[in-house]
């Protein structure tokens, strides 16, 4: 009886050996598991009847901001291309990794992520620019008097973190206005920007221009908003695929892009109907998010929907280097994007 505690201690020589073996085996298993998970068992792009099932990583929770995709699905645009879309709300990073490994053919992703992925050897290709304007903004209480980027100098600005879309937009805004990062007191407030602003943890916060400013206005808080897109053109969310899909199945890419752009155009023309369609895909959606969709429309509009520009890619890459997120320029930046399919599907 008295030995039981001694027996349970894993520090004994024999037990330590067994422990080391078990740890090795466990580590190996952990290394293999993701590969098994990605090994094609979970592949969902096999044809079922007439329609091909496609899993689409979205990068965020179900939200009316995805209305163009919901419309394309709900109105049968994807079905007309022989596609049935399963919306998958996993993270943007996971989506890109899956596309890079050719486990899924498409994902939604930002331009910054596409460049960073290319830099690490992922054969990602951005085929449609959905957001024509970068949707990040710096919002502050009206009484703080932050009306121009220069007013940020010496102020405390709250960021969700020193990575990701918000950080890219923030540095882009400063850089475009000749303000160095040292001149502004950036502080990380996590994803609680509204609370940070209201509790005076920060004088201004970096937010999504189509979301938090509306929340604050609905709360009756008068705010000033600096839109990043007013100062610098960076590449934001769009559709990415991979080189293999483009080479082996260009019709699939063309069909997907066509259906998406039809959904986008319909949403821009009929936002209220698009919002109603979104309710079929976003559980429990009431009318409180309608303003978010309406505010998003302006970020999507373009003369030619989906078209992307090389200059924006160059600017985004330069910014990533300036921020230290990218060590050097990617070897073939123009290979990271193409307008081929957007131009093909124009009516």
Q: Where do contacts with another protein occur on this chain (CB under 8 A)?
A: 2-14, 16-17, 20-21, 23-24, 27-28, 31-32, 34-35, 38, 93, 96-97, 100-101, 113, 116-117, 119-122, 161-164, 188, 190-192, 195, 199, 201, 325-326
C-beta of 60 vs 163, nearer to another protein:
163
Instruction: Name the minimum Å distance from CB 84 to another protein.
Output: 27
Tell me the DSSP string of 63-129. Answer: -GGGHHHHHHHHTTHHHHTTEEEEEEEEEHHHHHHHHHTTSSS-EEE-HHHHHHHHHTT--EEEEEE
Instruction: Name the minimum Å distance from CB 20 to another protein.
Output: 4
Instruction: Name the minimum Å distance from CB 67 to another protein.
Output: 26
Instruction: Name the minimum Å distance from CB 126 to another protein.
Output: 15
C-beta of 123 vs 271, nearer to another protein:
123
Tokens 């100098």 found at: 153
C-beta of 48 vs 180, nearer to another protein:
180
Instruction: Name the minimum Å distance from CB 342 to another protein.
Output: 25
d(CA 29, CA 32): 5
Instruction: Name the minimum Å distance from CB 261 to another protein.
Output: 28
d(CA 39, CA 98): 11
CB 115 within 8 A of CB 316: yes
C-beta of 21 vs 60, nearer to another protein:
21
CB 139 within 8 A of CB 158: no
C-beta of 91 vs 346, nearer to another protein:
91
d(CA 19, CA 222): 61
d(CA 16, CA 33): 25
C-beta of 17 vs 43, nearer to another protein:
17
Tokens 């980027």 found at: 149
Q: CA geometry: angle at 323 spanning 319 and 325, to 5°?
A: 100
């Amino acid at each position: 009886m008295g030995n039981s505690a001694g027996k349970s201690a894993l520090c004994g020589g024999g037990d330590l050996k067994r422990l080391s073996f078990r740890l090795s085996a466990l580590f190996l298993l952990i290394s293999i598991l993701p590969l098994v998970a990605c090994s094609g068992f979970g592949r969902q792009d096999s044809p079922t009847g007439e329609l091909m099932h496609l899993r689409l990583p979205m990068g965020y929770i179900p939200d009316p901001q995805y209305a163009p995709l919901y419309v394309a699905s709900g109105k049968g645009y994807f079905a007309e291309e022989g596609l049935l879309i399963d919306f998958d709300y996993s993270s943007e990073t996971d989506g890109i990794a899956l596309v890079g490994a050719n486990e899924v053919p498409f994902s939604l992703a930002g331009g910054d992520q596409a460049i960073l992925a290319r830099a690490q050897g992922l054969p990602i290709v951005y085929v449609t620019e959905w957001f024509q304007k970068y949707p990040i903004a710096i919002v502050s209480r009206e009484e703080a008097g932050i009306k121009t980027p220069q007013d940020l100098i010496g102020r405390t600005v709250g960021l969700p973190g020193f990575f990701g879309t918000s950080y890219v937009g923030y540095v882009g805004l400063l850089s475009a206005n000749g303000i160095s990062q040292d001149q502004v007191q950036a502080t990380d407030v996590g994803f609680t920007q509204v609370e940070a602003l209201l509790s005076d943890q920060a004088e201004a916060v970096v937010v999504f221009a189509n979301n938090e400013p509306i929340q604050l206005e609905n709360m009756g808080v008068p705010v000033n908003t600096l839109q990043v897109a007013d100062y610098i053109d960076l590449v934001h969310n769009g559709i990415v695929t991979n080189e293999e899909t483009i080479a082996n199945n260009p019709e699939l890419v063309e069909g997907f892009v066509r259906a998406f752009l039809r959904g986008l155009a319909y949403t821009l023309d009929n936002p209220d109907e698009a919002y109603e369609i979104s309710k079929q895909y976003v559980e429990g959606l009431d009318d409180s998010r309608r303003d978010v969709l309406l505010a998003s429309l302006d970020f999507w509009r373009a003369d030619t929907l989906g078209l992307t520009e090389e200059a924006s890619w160059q600017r985004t890459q330069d910014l990533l280097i300036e921020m230290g997120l990218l060590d050097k320029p990617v070897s073939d930046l123009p290979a990271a994007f193409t307008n081929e399919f957007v131009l093909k599907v124009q009516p």
